[in-house]
Amino acid sequence: MPISLPAREPVKAPAATHCPYCALQCGMNVAAGTGGTGAVEITPRLDVPANSGGLCQKGWTAGELLTGGARLTTPLLHGEPVGWDEALDFVADRIRALQAEHGPDGVAVFGGGGLTNEKAYLLGKFARVVLGTSQIDYNGRFCMSSAAAASNRAFGLDRGLPFPITDLAEAGAVLLAGGNMAETMPPFVRHLTEMRRRGGRLVVVDPRLTATARLADLHLQPTPGTDLALALGLLHLAVAEGHVDAAYVAGRTNGFEAVATSVAAWWPERVERVTGVPVAQMRLAVEILGAADRAVILTGRGAEQHAKGTDTVTAFINLALALGLPGRPGSGYGCVTGQGNGQGGREHGQKADQLPGYRKIDDPAAREHVAKVWGIDPAEIPGPGRSAYELLDALGTPSGPRALLLFGSNPVVSAPRAGHVTDRLRSLDLLVVSDLVLSETAALADVVLPTAQWAEEEGTMTNLEGRVLLRRRALDPPPGVRTDLEIIQGLAVRLGDGTGGPRGAGGFPAEARAVFDELRRASAGGTADYSGITYERIAAETGVFWPCPGTGHPGTPRPFLDGFATPDGRANFVPVEHRPPEEDADADYPLYLTTGRVLAHYQSGAQTRRIAALNAVVSEAFVEVHPDLAERLGVSAGQRLRVVSRRGETEGVARVNPAIRADTVFMPFHWAGANLLTNPALDPVSRMPEFKVCAVRLERVG
């Protein structure tokens, strides 16, 4: 139950830490305010290269939730405040009973890309070692998994940016496909503007003329769901117009011929017909990239959140490889990771198919290594489980889990086909949510566990560069609130074997440093090797890049300079083919819906919607439409519109804006509504849902 909190004093002031929100992980100092008000003062750090003194309005206001009245400060059991022992005993008893009836997979775990590395690691271990369940995945599957899958198959390694973010300023050209950093992570933009100040050129691919696209030298505005065709067309032109780096292709890659053959049919006029992007603009984009000594291709969610997201990113990587970019100083391909720990969260075992260190759960050597660290037999580690949407879709079904433990996620708002997901959550025998506020998902839970947040705990986060950063504790959590590590320990003690050994308290320390030391051993020798990283090193060096296999190792800011992480050290071209969206526009649903974020809010909005200054900027969902479409519908700005898809309907205020295509409408997904409409069609490789395009119709309300 939300209550107002007493003023709290800092543990020490100020603490040099990082923003709780996006993957840029801007450095900030946090101190208690003066006057005993309990307010928290935030100032940007100058020593963190990602933001070097900049913050966006989300970061500036992040302290409000530490002291505001929206915090949960006592466990809730069926909506009533209870003590911790009563809450955790209830959860443990119900899990025991449900697993006795339905087996280990009768209980599932769902994590988040905002959890620290320590939490993600301990959650994965808890699921496998204590619950014995294979049913664990996390909301990062909704975020970067297509880029991760494409990078793994091209480079043998998935690290968002395989170079420091400051390298961008050195580039002569940057092509950004499907990212809007001017709204999602504004301090990122300084690296692009510095690049342009030095003479570099920016090309942005986006169906909307976003704030980022307005900064570009060239904006390509394809029909939603056609980025893959566009990338094929760009490579076709690069080949045809002599921009392929033949020496690089011969010396550092495999498979170019097959890809060159596959794009031969994507001549520019055909691509224009499919994408709506004029041939002249495509030629100019290739000319800009081809003429630059150093160039970078970046993808964001706009290219990735599709049922063909892995292939779309692959097509952009193929283009980057043909131009000879990855693994050259100042050049490359990168994915702009979104969630705060989107990178680290996908490395240490909260994914259905993964063990710590970015190891595969079905790899016998990986199982043996991790089992040894965990003190169990490798055969006791369950196999792969369901991916995020498949897991949510199976909840409460005859063959699916009957209980869900959920940490750091709000799928009622953030999952595709959210109405159906909400029904599945309601059908459970037990839903347990650990959160700091009563989110839409927590409001459905049988048990809500109030958890500490970023400035109240220690831990590590890995930002979009693959730089491992230290989150420092600036003040104590409010009385009655526990950390996620303490909650996991409390459950492990109750559900483990009752000893101090690996299945009891001994295997689940609540101190972040102790968990990190174990994570270092578990990750040693893996793709994401953290074994040489310590809290002391991170503090002294303002972050350490993985892989870092040993305390004497300097870390790896640019992992591909000497070779790729493939068996033969060469990057792989992979042929891919365009296909239309899973749900194309038709007579009944004649428009495309695309979703995204606004400057003032973060992800499902569970935190930012509770911050007055951010809510004052945008307080409800809107529907962005082109003036031609508005005229056809007889709608003017400010009127309410109903948006209807095959999965549900929602309403929003019309914003009439020539910056969007006339066949497309845009809705932000920070409020329950947009994802009632979205299509859960999954990418066959990454299992990422098609958030970015579905077919809708608009109706005037009233």
Please check whether residue 149 is in contact with residue 686, taking contact to mean a CB–CB distance below 8 angstroms: yes
**Spatial separation of the C-alpha atoms in residues 689 and 414, rounded to whole Å:** 11
Backbone CA torsion sign across 323, 327, 331, 336: positive
Tokens in use for 111?
């994590």
User: Which residues does 428 contact at the CB level (< 8 Å), separation at least 6?
Assistant: 395, 396, 401, 402, 403, 404
Nearer to ligand SF4, 88 or 618 (CB): 618
Token readout for 348 is 């240490």
Task: Provide CB contacts within 8 A for 49, sequence distance 6+.
Answer: 164, 165, 166, 542
Which residue number, 17 or 686, has a Cβ lying nearer to ligand SF4? 17
Q: Which is nearer to ligand SF4, 22 or 177 (CB)?
A: 22
Nearer to ligand SF4, 597 or 647 (CB): 597
Q: How far is the CB of 51 from ligand SF4 (least distance, A)?
A: 6
Which residue, 136 or 168, has its beta carbon nearer to ligand SF4? 168
Region binding ligand SF4 by CB under 6 A among candidate stretches 17-25, 200-208, 445-453, 566-574:
17-25
Q: Which is nearer to ligand SF4, 134 or 341 (CB)?
A: 341
Q: Which amino acid is at 155?
A: F
**Residues within window 23-62 making contact with ligand SF4, judged by CB under 6 A:** 24-26, 51, 55-56, 58-59
CA torsion 650→656→659→662, rounded to 10°?
A: 70
Cβ(555)–Cβ(546) under 8 Å? yes
CB of 67 to ligand SF4, least distance (A): 18
Segment near ligand SF4 (CB under 6 A), from 16-24, 146-154, 480-488, 562-570? 16-24
CB count, 10 Å around CB of 382? 19
The residue with its CB nearest to ligand SF4 is 59
Smallest distance from the beta carbon of 476 to ligand SF4, in angstroms? 23
Of residues 19 and 452, the one with the C-beta less far from ligand SF4 = 19
| Closest distance to ligand SF4 from the beta carbon of 374 (Å) | 33
Check if the beta carbon of residue 650 is closer than 8 Å to that of residue 674. yes
Ramachandran category for residue 276: left, alpha or beta (phi over 0 → left; psi -120 to 50 → alpha): left
CA–CA separation, 67 and 74 (whole Å)? 15
Window contacting ligand SF4 (CB under 6 A); options: 21-29, 66-74, 330-338, 665-673: 21-29
Q: What is the distance between the alpha carbons of residues 20 and 42, in angstroms, rounded to a whole number?
A: 12
Smallest separation (angstroms) from ligand SF4 to the CB of 56:
3
CB of 112 or CB of 547, closer to ligand SF4: 112
Cβ atoms within 10 Å of 265's Cβ, excluding its own: 10
Q: Where are the beta strands (DSSP E) in 206-325?
A: 218-220, 253-254, 295-299
Minimum distance of ligand SF4 from residue 626's CB (angstroms): 29
CB of residue 58 to ligand SF4, shortest distance in Å? 4
Given 10, 14, 21, 204, the residue binding ligand SF4 (CB under 6 A): 21
Angle between helices 84-102 and 484-495 (to 10 degrees): 50
Total of chain residues touching ligand SF4, rule CB under 6 A: 14
Query: Using the rule CB under 6 A, is 358 a contact of ligand SF4?
Result: no
CA distance 278 to 271: 9
Least distance from ligand SF4 to the Cβ atom of residue 603, Å: 10
x-or-dash string of contact with ligand SF4, 426-465, rule CB under 6 A: ----------------------------------------
3-state class (DSSP) for residue 315: helix
Q: Which stretch binds ligand SF4 (CB under 6 A): 14-22, 546-554, 618-626, 682-690?
A: 14-22
Closer of 185 and 528 to ligand SF4 (Cβ):
185
> Position of tokens 């948006």?
643
Q: Least separation, in Å, of the C-beta of 27 and ligand SF4?
A: 9
> Which residue's CB is nearer to ligand SF4, number 51 or number 462?
51
Q: Of the ranges 15-23, 136-144, 389-397, 450-458, which one interacts with ligand SF4 (CB under 6 A)?
A: 15-23
* Cα–Cα distance for residue pair 107/130, rounded to 1 Å: 11
Q: Give the chain's radius of gyration (CA, Å).
A: 24
Provide, rounded to whole angstroms, the least separation between the CB of residue 134 and ligand SF4.
34
Residues 6+ apart with CB under 8 A from 404: 107, 108, 109, 110, 395, 425, 428, 430, 431, 432
Closer of 277 and 336 to ligand SF4 (Cβ) = 336
Spatial distance between the Cα atoms of 393 and 385, rounded to a whole number of angstroms: 13
Q: How many CB atoms lie within 10 A of CB 552?
A: 7
CA distance 188 to 25: 10
Q: How far is the CB of 602 from ligand SF4 (least distance, A)?
A: 6
∠363-138-520 over CA atoms, to 5°?
55
User: Residues 59-78: x/- map of binding to ligand SF4 (CB under 6 A)?
Assistant: x-------------------
**What does DSSP assign to residue 418?**
H
Asked whether the beta carbons of 401 and 105 are under 8 A apart, the reply is yes
- Shorter beta-carbon distance to ligand SF4: residue 327 or 338: 338
Q: At its nearest, how many Å lie between ligand SF4 and the CB of residue 345? A: 15
Residue 159 or residue 190: which is nearer to ligand SF4 going by CB? 190
Measured CA to CA in angstroms, residue 294 lies from 200, 231, 283 at distances of 9, 19, 18
Closest approach of Cβ 18 to ligand SF4, in Å?
7
Question: What is the footprint of ligand SF4 within residues 155-214 (CB under 6 A)?
Answer: 185-187
Name which of 21 and 671 has its Cβ closer to ligand SF4: 21
Q: Judged by CB under 6 A, which of 5, 14, 17, 22 binds ligand SF4?
A: 22
Q: Which is nearer to ligand SF4, 63 or 225 (CB)?
A: 63
Pick 188 or 508: Cβ nearer ligand SF4: 188
Residue with tokens 């994408």: 275
Q: Which residues pair with 92 in a beta bridge?
A: none
Residue 450 and residue 75 in contact, taking contact as beta carbons nearer than 8 Å: yes
Strand partners, 668: 596
Give least dist CB 14 to ligand SF4, A: 16
CA dist., res. 86 & res. 447, Å (int) = 10
In the complex, what is the shortest distance from the CB of residue 336 to ligand SF4, in angstroms, rounded to a whole number? 11
572 - beta bridge partners?
Answer: 254
Q: How far is the CB of 180 from ligand SF4 (least distance, A)?
A: 12
* Residues engaged in binding ligand SF4 (CB under 6 A): 19, 21-22, 24-26, 51, 55-56, 58-59, 185-187
